[in-house]
């Protein structure tokens, strides 16, 4: 199952929340299920599912999720228990902790990438070729 995208391997979620572009949140978000951030969040996120920071999403703080897809802007520390996928429009300034990471050509990353055990992790790189990048947009 190596070199598969997150959207290829996750089952269809039962619970999904979306923060739209017109929304600004300051505070913390905790929950189960998936979260898509298209707006702005200043604070912390802790979810037991997929976190998607969309192209218009802007996040500043600490985030923890099972898997992450980053298309927007993040400033802060992010932690995924499984995998982080940074798409070509993704911008991350901060440290990353995860088990697997893939970075698309053109993405920006300024920070350290480590495994949960503190070892430096070598990222895989890919070139985006598909239009249907998010679950449910097929």
Residue 134 lies in a domain: no
DSSP E strands in the chain: the ranges are: 16-19, 24-32, 34-37, 40-48, 50-53, 58-70, 73-75, 78-86, 91-93, 96-97, 100-104, 108-110, 113-114, 124-126
Residue 2 lies in a domain: no
Enter the pTM of the model. 0.77
Residue 4 lies in a domain: no
What per-residue confidence (pLDDT) applies to 81? 93
Residue 10 lies in a domain: no
**In 3-state terms, what secondary structure has residue 81?**
strand
What per-residue confidence (pLDDT) applies to 138? 41
Ranges of H-type helices in the chain: 6-9
Measure the CA–CA gap between 113 and 134, rounded to whole angstroms: 24
Residue 20: give the domain boundaries.
Answer: 15-126
What per-residue confidence (pLDDT) applies to 134? 54
Q: Under 8 Å CB-to-CB from 78, ≥6 apart: which residues?
A: 62, 63, 64, 68, 70, 84, 92, 94, 95, 96, 97, 98
111: phi then psi, degrees, rounded to nearest 5: 165, -175
Residue 62 lies in a domain: yes
Total number of domains in the chain: 1
What per-residue confidence (pLDDT) applies to 127? 74
Residue 3 lies in a domain: no
Residue 94 vs residues 62, 102, 127: alpha-carbon distances, Å: 9, 16, 23
**pLDDT string in tens for the chain (138-residue length):** 455 555 555 545 467 888 889 889 999 999 989 999 999 999 999 999 999 999 999 999 999 999 999 999 999 999 999 999 999 999 999 999 998 889 999 999 999 988 776 666 666 666 766 555 555 444
Residue 137 lies in a domain: no
């Amino acid at each position: 199952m190596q070199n598969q995208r997150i959207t290829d391997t996750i089952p269809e979620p039962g619970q999904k929340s979306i923060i739209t572009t017109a929304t600004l949140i300051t505070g913390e978000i905790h929950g189960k299920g998936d979260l898509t951030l298209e707006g702005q969040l200043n604070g912390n996120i802790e979810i037991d599912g997929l976190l998607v920071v969309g192209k218009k999403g802007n996040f500043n703080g600490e985030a923890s999720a099972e898997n992450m897809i980053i298309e927007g802007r993040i400033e802060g520390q992010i932690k995924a228990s499984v995998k982080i996928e940074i798409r070509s429009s993704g911008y991350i300034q901060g440290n990353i902790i995860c088990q697997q990471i893939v970075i698309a050509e053109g993405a920006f990353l300024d920070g350290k990438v480590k495994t949960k055990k503190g070892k430096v992790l070598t990222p895989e790189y890919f070139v985006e070729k598909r239009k249907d990048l998010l679950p449910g947009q097929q």
